[in-house]
Amino acid sequence: MVVLITGGTRGIGLGIAQAAARAGWDLMLGGQRPASDVAGVIKELSTSGRRVEYIAADVADAGRRAELLRCTEEHFGRLDALVNNAGIAPPVRADILDAGEESFELLIKTNLQGPYFLTQQAAKWMIRQRQADASFRGKIVNISSISAVVASVNRGDYCLSKAGVSMATRLWAVRLAEFDIDVFEIRPGLIQTDMTTAVRGKYDQYIAEGGVPQRRWGTPADIGAAVTMLLGGQLPYATGSVLTLDGGMGMARL
């Protein structure tokens, strides 16, 4: 079984890759860094005994998306699951009254347009596999964010990109259901990664004061466990479902 994970060599993506490898999946990983920069990560993942391949492929670039799938077919000859994890934060946080279009365009292209059209191409491949083998069951998992539903007025571009990912999950779930290709969304809360380093102090205090009922940061391993459960078909009859992994942060409380 082969899973393609974008942004799979650091942060949440690496947590997913580690969990998937332990569960017996072969890995095709994409990222923006040169292969030489991630050689250590690939070596570590390979100790699981699973096959691991990597290609530098920015999902915002249509040509690199196509190359990512071409390499997957070349190395493995099949694709059983896609995890759309790659994403970026705003280069600069700006109030929506002052924010410019350059950051908006960058985030939409990377966080929404890229995974949307990667899913389109991967889904067509999965449909062909399904038509050739009636037992084939494809899986697609989109990693969004609580920012899909929680407004942050100093990073509206990020919120809108993730809200778009949520709708994309629904759209693809409806369209691909007839082919038994399940589509899910994981909606992480505060996850301890390099992306959240700049706001660590702010959210350490928020967590300590009870903003997160479970009173800890989430980890990439938390997300990896949930994604692996979905890839393993342990949530049947639930396509289009959203799993919110935020330690209870989003619950309405008095």
Active site residues: 158
CA distance 61 to 106: 11
Name the token pair of 218: 């989430």
Using CA atoms, how far apart are residues 22 and 27, in angstroms rounded to an integer?
11
- What residue type is 173 in one-letter code? A
* Distance (Å, whole) CA 78 – CA 69: 10
Q: Is 44 exposed, middle or buried (0-12, 13-18, 19+ CB in 10 A)?
A: middle
Contact criterion met (CB below 8 Å) for 8 and 16 = yes
Pick from 34, 35, 43: nearest CA to 17: 43
Q: Is 133 left (phi over 0), alpha (psi -120 to 50) or beta?
A: beta
